[in-house]
Amino acid sequence: MAQVEATTERIIAADAETVFDALADYSGTRAKLLPEHFSEYEVREGGDGEGTLVHWKLQATSKRVRDCLLEVTEPTDGQLVEKDRNSSMVTTWLVTPAGEGKSRAVVTTVWDGAGGVGGFFERTFAPKGLGRIYDVVLAKLADEVEK
């Protein structure tokens, strides 16, 4: 069983604090950023960064739906970590300054992939698919904070 990783990043024309605050706002902004691949979004505890417990279903393909229950932590400044209670999936958001009035937002998701032929296809195609989904999230984030 090999680890699968998908990483996407974007430069956003807003300061890092503004971008991070929007990402950490699970009870408000975050739901607006999610494309049609996400359903049944629900904040179950907290709602702002550390201590949040959030649920959603992620449909990465027509056949693959993940039921996610995510615990949110903030291990360092500018970092949100979402650990799925239902699987090995961990998504890390990192927001850092990238010049005057700009920031870099990087999202990385890792999980333990399947073995065998199915695992080969998962390692080959899942990162690209998840990358496309998170490209949309980051584009919506940019639209939200660059207003």
The per-residue pLDDT for range 8-24, each reduced to its tens digit, is 999 999 999 999 999 99
- Run of H or E including 84: strand 79-84
Q: Is 136 exposed, middle or buried (0-12, 13-18, 19+ CB in 10 A)?
A: middle
pTM reported for the whole predicted model: 0.90
**Order of strands, sheet of 65-73, starting from the edge strand that comes earlier in the sequence:** 3-12, 103-112, 90-97, 79-84, 65-73, 53-59, 38-45
The per-residue pLDDT for range 101-122, each reduced to its tens digit, is 999 999 999 988 777 766 666 6
